[in-house]
Homo-oligomer: A and B are copies of this chain.
Amino acid sequence: MTETPPPIQPPERKRRNASVTVNDVALLAGISAMTVSRAINTPDRLPPATLAKVQAAIAATGYVPNLLAGGLRSNKSRLVAALIPTLVSPVFNETVQALTSALRGYGYQLMLGQSGYAEPLEDELLGAIIGRRPDGIVLTGVVHSAEARRRLLASGIPVVETWDLSPEPIDMLVGFSHSAVAEAVCRHLHAHGRRRLAVIGGDDERAQRRSQAFVATALSLGLAEPWVQEVPAPTTLGSGRSALRDLRAQSTDFDAVFCSSDMLALGVLTEAQVLGIAVPTELAVMGFGDLAFARDLHPALTTVRIDGMQIGIEAARCIVDRVEGRAVPQRTIDIGFTIIERASV
């Protein structure tokens, strides 16, 4: 196909109102607007001849259906909103990536919002989201604010909370237990002969929960109370390095450290190398997240794998199932976690 681009008119002048509609297509194809609509939405139910006419007209006019209008009338926006704390930390990248792809497979689009780590889900953001009448809302973490829960519930929009567990999900939930993770990590370290533990954790709610459960497990195992170093979220390589220094300023009496993210763990690994601390012999290091780089570090990082992609896929499925009227088998899906044993312990 030889393509001669048409003379390019400057896009300064908006011609939004001149946009072609179903009626233009219908006119050209010599049929009704309704049939054009059907040709687009349920092509199987039209005789091939009609379909062909419509498609020719669509091609000729360059018609692009206005999804706002369709959504208004049919009450289906084919839009799903996702709220994540931040894109700065790569923890949720996989989930967002999987969500985007999975939803697109179903014919839906993703709208992204950033909620921040600390705030209790501001009212304004919620209004902006609900106002778009998305067919579903995916939340990172569980919602604690009673006000936000009420608004979400009142909106009637399917909601999936993720990356956590809750005894009372707003609607659906795809996550895992942070305290179970921390307990498993602590037991893992203990089983590998580590007795004097430390934890470096972000100051966001879920990381704090992990730190607490880690401490509690250590105590129940009869170990000394672990040292706890808190760093601001989102966690970085730099904060991992300084956290290890800070920890050692307090005491050098620990032989294992659990980091609340792989980035933090990479920082600890880096600082250990600089300080000449042998990993894992002198110090065992564990991360959280199993980011892509964890396996390729030196030493390879023992960490907790959370299948972020799976979370995204399941969340998409939950919402689409609900929207299409299918029964959602279970309201809560615990996708669990896996401790990936590598060289750093």
Contacts and interface: CB of A to CB of B under 8 A. Distances in A.
A9 B258 CA distance: 41
A274 B298 contact: yes
How many chain copies does the complex carry?
A: 2
Contact of A11 (B75, B86, B156): B156
B112 A111 contact: yes
A68 B71 contact: yes
Contacts of A132: 67-68, 79, 109
A180 to B, nearest CB: 27
B111 A110 contact: yes
Interface stretch (A87-95, A205-213, A224-232): A87-95
A186 B267 CA distance: 30
A231 to B, nearest CB: 13
Contacts of A15: 156
A62 interface: yes
Q: Which of A67, A170, A297 counts the most B-chain CB atoms under 10 A from its CB? A: A67
B238 A295 contact: yes
Contacts of A11: 153, 156, 158-159, 170-171
A281 B239 CA distance: 28
Given A3-B146, A14-B156, A75-B16, A114 B97 contact: yes
A297 B156 CA distance: 48
A226 B99 CA distance: 41
Contacts of A157: 16
Nearest to A69: B72
A68 B133 contact: yes
B112 A100 contact: yes
Q: Which bucket holds chain A's interface residue count?
A: 35 or more
B296 A270 contact: yes
B237 A297 contact: yes
A5 interface: yes
A313 to B, nearest CB: 14
A267 B296 contact: yes
Given A15-B156, A158-B11, A149 B5 contact: yes
Interface stretch (A123-131, A246-254, A282-290): A123-131
A100 B128 CA distance: 13
A191 interface: no
Contacts of A298: 270-271, 273-274
Given A14-B156, A238-B295, A270-B297, A128 B109 contact: yes
Contacts of A101: 114
A241 interface: yes
Contact of A87 (B71, B96, B127, B266): B96
29 contacts: A5-B150, A8-B153, A11-B156, A11-B170, A16-B156, A65-B131, A67-B128, A67-B132, A67-B133, A68-B71, A68-B72, A79-B111, A86-B97, A88-B94, A88-B292, A93-B93, A101-B114, A104-B114, A104-B128, A109-B113, A109-B129, A109-B132, A110-B112, A236-B293, A237-B293, A237-B297, A238-B292, A238-B293, A274-B298
Pairs of residues from A and B, 9 with the lowest C-beta to C-beta distance, nearest first: A237-B293, A238-B296, A87-B97, A67-B131, A15-B156, A237-B296, A3-B146, A87-B93, A112-B112
